[in-house]
Amino acid sequence: MSVNQQAHTGPPYGQPQPGYQGYQQPVYGGQPLPGVPQSQYGAYNGPMPGYQQPVPPQGYFPSLGFPSKGSPVSLNSDTSSLAPNFIGSLRATPTSGAPPPASGASLPSGHLAYSQFGHGDVQNGIPASAAPMQRPPASQPFLPGSAPTPVSQTSTFQQYGPPPASVQQLSNHMAGMTVGSTTASAPPPAGLGYGPPTSVPPVSGSFSATGSGLYTPYTASQGPPPTSVSQGLPLAQPPFPGQPVSTQRLPTQVPGFAPPPSSTGIGPSSYPPTTGAPRPPTMPGPPLPGQAVAGPPTSQPNHVSSPPPPSTMSGLHPGPPMSGLHGPPPPTHPPQPGYQMQQNGSFGQVRGPHPNYGGAYPGTPNYGSQPGPPPPPKRLDPDSIPSPQLNELPPQQKPRHRIDPDAIPSPIQVIEDDRSNRGSEPFVTGVRGQVPPLVTTNFLVKDQGNASPRYIRCTSYNIPCTSDMAKQSQVPLAAVIKPLATLPPEETLPYLVDHGESGPVRCNRCKAYMCPFMQFIEGGRRFQCCFCSCVTEVPPHYFQHLDHTGKRVDFCDRPELSLGSYEFLATVDYCKNNKFPSPPAFIFMIDVSYNAVKSGLVRLICEELKSLLDYLPREGNMEESAIRVGFVTYNKVLHFYNVKSSLAQPQMMVVSDVADMFVPLLDGFLVNVNESRTVIASLLDQIPEMFADTRETETVFAPVIQAGLEALKAAECAGKLFIFHTSLPIAEAPGKLKNRDDKKLINTDKEKTLFQPQTSFYNNLAKDCVAQGCCVDLFLFPNQYLDVATLGVVTYQTGGSIYKYAYFQLETDQDRFLNDLRRDVQKEVGFDAVMRVRTSTGIRATDFFGAFYMSNTTDVEMAGLDCDKTITVEFKHDDKLSEDSGALLQCALLYTSCAGQRRLRIHNLSLNCCTQLADLYRNCETDTLINYLAKYAYRGVLGSPVKTVRDALINQCAQILACYRKNCASPSSAGQLILPECMKLLPVYLNCVLKSDVLQPGPEVTTDDRAYIRQLVTSMDVAETNVFFYPRLLPLTKADVDSDSLPAAIRNSEERLSKGDIYLLENGLNIFVWVGVNVQQGLIQNLFGVSSFSQISNTLSILPVLENPFSKKVRSIVDMLQLQRSRYMKLIIVKQEDKLEMLFKHFLVEDKSLSGGASYVDFLCHMHKEIRQLLS
């Protein structure tokens, strides 16, 4: 049974916990049933019956863990839910052998377990039974009185805390837990990151110096220890037995830990000196820091301290706050049988439970039974705790204790907790500065004055009042804005407001648009701007009286006064050359060189376009699309086609003078699909035949874009070019390129040239395209180096998308390509777009990231902006902010809709401001922070060596965490790593960014791949970067075939995989299905339709359609994931021990990477070292 996820944090207070299998469960109030052994970590509600808890000795405060005079320093700097996040023996309420509390594993039917919005009838946050709301037409005209009336809102932010726990729950790592140091029969060779599957696998990926594994058996009756460091309210005095400690949100505490000696990791308990070093003497008198207080038997210590520095005495390094607390005595009843050990063996030894999977592992037969309670240890010395078979080991094989990966913050746990705490309630946006649920949580948004987090997410929702404070914290202040984001069906699209010829009401000075934060004065005759404080006359047609609170009496009826997001119909003043725009055009430009024809690509594109042209985007309730289409084919020359409806056959015109591109026909090039349907169909039939025998291998590229641009200019409209291209453009023509791929430049100062365009020609071309509103989408089918860094420039600066299909093969890649093409043609796009972000006095937008062009410092210009693209904006202080008024952002996007209507889309967001650093750290959003940092780094590689960029990232994050440690965490040993609650995943996610192909490529990553990923990530939204950097890993064999929900995810590490299971890993670009060597034959037959592991083909690109529940379930999971992503993911079947497995392992981001990236545990140690250096 390979269920190595961390335990779920337990059900909400007052709900019974599910019973443990194997024996009855004591009643939830703590009353044991007669004759039933009390589970050591059962649902806990007060001190354990029958166990007298001693009062702590005077002068000793359990919350601190070291002797102290006077009252203790509170564990946290304030009374709210931000607690220092000690990373320690992190465990949640266990579910030993039991089905877990339903957190995210079994969402109500219809719920997706992951949020990427706007697909089908996925219920998003409201119960499946609720009647679905009617979705209005694409952008409904606003009728006065039809705006949603804001619900008067009570407190919108509920604290979800676990039940009160007494100090007893702050037990040491595990009362009565044996530190097993049992080695497997043949230890794998030392130094391997992960032993080959044939050797005995490492236990939890940890090796001692000699490679022996360490593991801690849990019996079925024993879960892992709870995480309940008291948090929330400072303890004014040590809690007494029975006095509940208020807990708010579970902190995680990592054993204090220092840099590891040489390369080993850090122990799950304490960081002992290298094997064989003398132990500190036992000292009488008051307990040393980190020593247990005499009392009941405590178990393995829960901290990892560094080897004693020479300056201190030979006692242990000061331990963490929790080290000496009293835990309940270990159970003395014999262990209950847990799950049967799987016959097929597993990858990695048994480990702690995962959320949503029943129970801890049983031990293997040798160490199933738990020894009696150990004698009270004299000092916290892990090697003095008796453990089975330790004496049988040769002396040099005593394992070095290492940090238990289950004891450090788990992304899976955080995601599950957020889902269970915040997935059920709608997120109401009426309150300033609310942090939204995570992007991985499914929730419903109710707009009551602030833009939905689907449109804007911030790195922090409480920003420092002064620039000095912002510099001190180093937390970047940024917003990731997705102005045309798709909403789920049950949320209302922005209302369209038409103010007639006078246009939208705006501030006279700063030109901000009317919004809910404007203040009406003088009985409603004037309004004061919330951005610049200027007072403006209200136009007579817009006048309305105020009520007794100073609000306009019609504020409920006007979207711009009551909602965070809405649209205005733009007047002619907002249009180019003061005339309304024509509807946009789509031009399909197909490479017909030898490679494209031979691979079957040309025929495939032509066949698909015949049906796809019926699905061009159209406005709300229009009968047909207003978009006109045109066709070009090219190799060394260009062929234009006249498809005028009056023609019997299409006509072809060839332009061979590519140096001076022009469009040879005006009438008949851009046509309405319905009018010219038969001519277009005839053309698409003829193109593959015309070029079937071509021998032309060379292509041009820049003239193709120029041709499309000229055609749009001649038609006086904006539009999009869909270019299908296969090779490096080496034919004699403007924009000709040479092959400059050079792997030897990697890790040199010249590496940055690989990301830069070869020539400035394309930058100038991009500028012309943006001016005309000509957006370029590029579909690449390379068999060798193509120079994506240069070819992608125009696409990138016009707001377009690049799709890349290396070594394109019809049978394996056509599904992915056709799905991408369909979605790209059909999705919502705004043309000729300009975006400006206004802010209230005190901060201003200083930097922008994304796929766009800027001709000045404020306006973001995009020839096209689609529903998947984000623009990331960074803000800096230019004055002081005040806590009372907060800070405001207004994003205004001016664009032409697909019907040719000029519109303004407005998004408003209000943020809090703080004078205390603790408030900043309590309101950060790590996923958004990582999105910003990745984009910042990916832009950095254009001008700096990659190593410099990596170091800057590590340094900035170390400064963010060191500032928290210094200013917000309670004083404690420097040997401890303390993380802010909402940033506890910063190290694991940052490590994923550092190990990504752009910043640390393996030998198999091509230069083109790196340039492609760099451009892709730059316009990703927060949900996409989240799964791209930390992929989702699902155990398919654990999926419930009868429910609609996904199986609970597990952590991205090889030691979490079992040889007997099948797993799915997705990262937004690929879906891997990994099949273990010992998977039961029946499962293989059900999923792949073959009878044995060896017969599974790894060239499958889609799963076979088989009529059995398992096949249906897995295919439905794959379909569900595909719908959540903006690109169709490539399906790759990986058999364990197959050559493709190396590629799969590259995505197990918690492990060491082959390209030299650190494992999560090692990186956490490295970050801790950096933080300590900054603090000292």
pLDDT at residue 978 greater than cutoff 90: yes
Residues 1035-1056: b if buried by 16+ CB within 10 A, e if exposed:
bbbbbeeeebbbbbbbbbbbbb
Which band of pLDDT confidence, cut at 50, 70 and 90, is reported for residue 935?
very high
Q: How far is CA 641 from CA 679, 681, 705, in A?
A: 10, 12, 16
Contact, 765 vs 706, CB < 8 A?
A: yes
Mean pLDDT of 166-187: 36
Please determine, for residue 189, whether its predicted confidence score (pLDDT) is greater than 90: no
Task: Give me the mean pLDDT over the 315-331 stretch.
Answer: 41
402 — pLDDT class (breaks 50, 70, 90): confident
Q: What is the pLDDT, as a whole number, of residue 1002?
A: 84
User: Among 181-190, 238-247, 1038-1047, which range has the highest average pLDDT?
Assistant: 1038-1047
pLDDT at 1121: 96
CB of 301 closer than 8 Å to CB of 252 = no
Q: What value does the mean pLDDT take over residues 865-882?
A: 97
Mean pLDDT of 564-580: 95
pLDDT over threshold 80, residue 487: yes
Is-contact 1117 1046, C-beta < 8 A?
yes
Q: Give the residue among 854, 866, 859, 902 at the shortest CA–CA distance from 717.
A: 902
Q: Bridge partners of 797?
A: none
Which of 389-398, 919-928, 1019-1028, 1073-1082 bottoms out in mean pLDDT, i.e. has the lowest? Answer: 389-398
Q: What is the pLDDT of residue 169?
A: 36
More confident residue, 111 or 1032: 1032
Burial zone of 161 (CB within 10 Å; 0-12 exposed, 13-18 middle, 19+ buried): middle
The DSSP bridge partners found for residue 877 are 843
Ramachandran angles phi, psi of 145, nearest 5°? 90, -10
Higher pLDDT pick, 590 / 322: 590
d(CA 291, CA 301): 9
* pLDDT score of 1054: 96
487 touches 493 (CB < 8 A)? yes
- Predicted confidence band of residue 932 (pLDDT cuts 50, 70, 90): very high
**Percentage of the chain exceeding pLDDT 70:** 66
> d(Cα 826, Cα 812) in Å, to the nearest integer?
23
Distance CA 107, CA 127 (A): 9
H-helix segments, 411-498: 411-422, 467-473
pLDDT value, residue 251: 41
961, amino acid identity: L
Environment class of residue 576 by beta-carbon count within 10 Å: exposed (0-12), middle (13-18) or buried (19+)? Answer: middle
Predicted TM-score (pTM) of this structure = 0.71
Average pLDDT estimate for 947-953: 97
Question: What is the structure's pLDDT at 863?
Answer: 98
Mean pLDDT of 1124-1147: 95
Which comes out higher in pLDDT, residue 1169 or 259? Answer: 1169
Q: Is the pLDDT of residue 180 over 70?
A: no
Say how many Å lie between the first and final Cα of the chain, rounded: 46
Query: What is the SS3 assignment for 810?
Result: helix
Give the pLDDT score at 608: 98
How high is the pLDDT of residue 973? 82
Q: What share of the chain is helix, strand, coil (3-state, %, to 5)?
A: 25, 15, 60
Label residue 386 by pLDDT band (50, 70, 90): very low
Pairing of strands 526-528, 519-521: antiparallel
For residue 957, pLDDT beyond 50: yes
Specify the pLDDT at position 905.
Answer: 98
pLDDT at 1069: 96
The answer to whether 68 touches 56, Cβ cutoff 8 Å, is no
Examine the pLDDT at 1109 and tell me if it is beyond 70: yes
Identify the three-state secondary structure at position 67: strand
Residue 3 confidence (pLDDT) = 39
Residue range 819-830, pLDDT digits in tens: 999 999 999 999
State pLDDT tens for residues 711-732.
999 999 999 999 999 999 999 9
Give alpha helix (H) positions in 583-733.
594-598, 601-612, 677-690, 702-715
Q: What is the pLDDT of residues 196-210, one digit of tens each?
A: 343 333 333 333 333
Write the pLDDT tens digit of every residue in 412-453.
999 999 999 999 999 999 999 999 999 999 999 999 999 999
Share of the chain above pLDDT 90, in %: 63
The predicted structure's pLDDT at residue 1163: 97
CA distance 123 to 108: 9
Q: What is the pLDDT of residues 648-702, one digit of tens each?
A: 999 999 999 999 999 999 899 999 999 999 999 999 999 999 999 999 999 999 9
Q: What is the pLDDT of residues 53-104, one digit of tens each?
A: 444 444 444 343 343 333 333 333 333 333 344 444 333 444 444 444 444 4
| 1045: its two tokens | 């929900």
Measure CA 703 to chain center: 39
> Could you tell me which of 413, 403, 192 has the C-alpha nearest to residue 1167?
403
Average pLDDT over residues 134-149: 46
Mean per-residue pLDDT, 847-853: 97
Tell me which of 977 and 21 has the higher pLDDT. 977
Query: Which segment of 98-112, 732-746, 834-848, 1065-1079 scores lowest on mean pLDDT?
Result: 98-112
Tokens for 380?
Answer: 């916290």
Cβ atoms of residues 447 and 564 within 8 Å? yes
403 confidence band (pLDDT: 50, 70, 90): confident
User: What's the mean per-residue pLDDT of the chain?
Assistant: 77
Q: Where does the pLDDT of residue 1098 fall: very low under 50, low under 70, confident under 90, or very high at 90 and above?
A: confident
